[in-house]
Structure 1
Amino acid sequence: MIKVFIIGAGTLGKLIVEIIESTGYFQVGGFYDDNFPQLKSVMNYPVLGKLEDVAKSNHLSLAIGIGEPKYRQSIFEELLEKGHHFPALVHSSAVLSKYSQIEDGVLIGPNSSVLTGSRVQKGTCILSHVNINQDVQIEPYCLIAAGVIIGNNAKLGEACHIGLGQRVYLNEEIAAGTFRK
């Protein structure tokens, strides 16, 4: 089993624990959170240090439990440059077409789907019950909240944030950095 260390021990970090535990392939190694040392454990896993301590560690497999796209991007790029790895983590209940593409650092929560021809690029976070239809292109570092439906041939620009229960319509293009509430 590969140990994955989670950056951020809040709501998203806890979801990542559930994703990892569902896989049977990865194992939670612990958390890094800026509330350390006051925060000592989360969900029975140790908090090992602050965010700044990750760069000094030799933990190569990481997951980012911080939702804000611009922070996800800066953390991902800085730590990737230092030799850390961000595996794609997909909940066991998610449905992925064998004809979809999922890049490194992507998180996919429970009961979500990514259908034929769709591509989800690095560092993107897809929460629970998200439906990504056919031939959708999602650029890096997006955050797609629970219950979102994305129609065929849609394109999401880099670091988009699509809020809870939103719909992205057929052939719609969302500009980079957009926050749709």
Structure 2
Amino acid sequence: MHNLMILGAGGHGRTLCEMARLLGYTDIVFLDDNASPIHDTNKLIIGKISELQLHIKKASHVAIGIGNNKLREQLYQQIISLGIHPVTLIHPFAFISPSATIAEGSVVLAGAVVGANARLGAGTIVNSHSTVDHDSTLGDFVHLGVGVHLAGGAVIGKSAFLQAGTVGGYNAIVHDYSVCPAGTIL
């Protein structure tokens, strides 16, 4: 049995693979419906995501390596319906306040900071060098791109996508399913 299966072998999935190795996972495989252009990842693809039910019992842990919020939510719901709970992965070079709450299936990448009393919903992505300051809330399946910075008290709605370099001031609000283009100032 493998100790981690990542759904998706694209850029985000490969990033999770490298992070998982830093966290001590040693036997990592992928499911992906498309062949990856990265040769060393191809040998780790054991099947297709569309065949998830055939492969789900082949690993002790599952992570969702899909950046697309809608697809990530669909896979999350499918995994839950199979009685599996996706792992939360936090890079060893991220800082998470002891009072922060991070729901299952979320990922926090290198250099990210999650402040005091911040709350991250299920399946969220806090990308490299992003900040979720004190008392902020990210809804389920939110995706913060690289270098997103949210000041205290920000509220980011379900499945919102804040692209690279988005900056939100104190108590900023982003509605459910919103997309903030790169460099947006809230």
Asked if Structure 1 and Structure 2 have the same fold, meaning a TM-score greater than 0.5 normalized by the shorter chain, the answer is yes
Q: Does 1:153 align with 2:120?
A: no
- Alpha-carbon distance in 2 for matches of 1:138, 1:109: 15
Q: Per the alignment, in what secondary structure is the counterpart of residue 176 of structure 1? A: coil
Alignment deviations for residues 53-76 of structure 1 (CA, whole Å, 9 cap, x no partner): 222221352111111111110110
Name the CA distance, whole Å, in 2 between partners of 1:60 and 1:74: 20
Instruction: Give the drift of 1:42.
Output: 3.9
Q: Say which SS state the counterpart of residue 76 (structure 2) adopts.
A: helix
User: What's the CA shift for 1:40?
Assistant: 9.1
Which runs of no fewer than 5 residues in structure 2 stay unpaired? Answer: 182-186
Which residue number in structure 1 is paired with residue 184 of structure 2? none
Two-structure CA RMSD over aligned residues (Å): 1.9
- Give, in angstroms, the shift of residue 160 of structure 1: 0.5
Please, what TM-score do these two structures have when normalized by structure 2? 0.89
Indicate conservation of the 8 Å contact 1:151/1:171, yes or no. Answer: yes
Partner SS for 2:63: strand
Q: CA deviation at 1:92?
A: 0.4
Q: Does 1:86 align with 2:108?
A: no
Equivalenced residue count is 178
Ranges in structure 1 where 5+ consecutive residues have no aligned partner: none
CA shift for structure 1 position 21: 1.4
The structure with the greater share of residues assigned to helix is 2
* Alignment partners' CA distance in 1, 2:177 and 2:103: 20
Query: Could you say which structure has the higher strand fraction?
Result: 1
CA distance in 2, matches of 1:40, 1:172: 39
1:6 partner SS: strand
Q: Matches of residues 4-153 of structure 1 in structure 2 within 5 Å?
A: 4-24=4-24, 26-36=25-35, 42-43=40-41, 46-57=44-55, 58=57, 59-153=59-153
Letter in 1 for 2:49: L
C-alpha spacing 1:142/1:29, structure 2 compared with 1 (3 Å): same
Change (3 A) 1:152 1:54: same
1:32-63 Cα shifts (integer Å, max 9, x gaps) = 11125x87964485100111122222135211
**Larger mean Cα displacement after TM superposition, 52-61 or 111-120:** 52-61
| TM-score of the aligned structures, taking structure 1 as reference length | 0.91
Output the CA distance in 2 between the equivalents of 1:149 and 1:132: 6
How big is the shift at 1:29?
2.1
1:17–1:28: 8 Å Cα contact kept in structure 2? no
Cα–Cα, structure 1 residues 28 and 164, in superposed 2: closer, same or farther, change >3 Å? farther
CA change 1:28–1:11 in 2 (3 A) is farther
